[in-house]
């Protein structure tokens, strides 16, 4: 947060408040619309996983893993190109 504050010439409190607001907005939008895009970085996407069979690593017993909804982050091509 400190480095971002220095680069943007904003107070650290303002940067922290902005990041908290962005995070809250991202969670709300993913819950409501199923995705939240951060241009140039990527997007958060809500994905439904189907029920499946798995294995208990301790006992080797086959178990049923219930269906659930998860959030994934998909990295934008621009971010991949910049890092790699």
Low-confidence ranges of the chain (pLDDT < 50): none
User: How much is the pLDDT for 61?
Assistant: 95
Task: Dig out the tokens for 27 from the structure.
Answer: 């969670």
User: How much is the pLDDT for 7?
Assistant: 92
Give dist(CA 43, CA 41) in Å, integer.
7
User: How much is the pLDDT for 70?
Assistant: 96
* Cβ contact 29:35 at 8 Å: yes
DSSP state of 19: H
DSSP state of 51: P
Give the Cβ contact number of residue 38 at 10 Å.
Answer: 13
């Amino acid at each position: 947060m400190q480095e971002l504050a220095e680069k943007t010439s904003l107070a650290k409190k303002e940067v922290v408040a902005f990041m908290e607001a962005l995070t809250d907005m991202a969670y709300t939008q993913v819950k409501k619309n199923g995705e939240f895009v951060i241009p140039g970085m990527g997007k958060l996407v809500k994905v439904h996983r189907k029920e499946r069979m798995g294995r208990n690593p301790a006992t080797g017993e086959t178990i049923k893993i219930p269906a659930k909804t998860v959030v994934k982050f998909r990295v934008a091509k621009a971010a991949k190109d910049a890092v790699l």
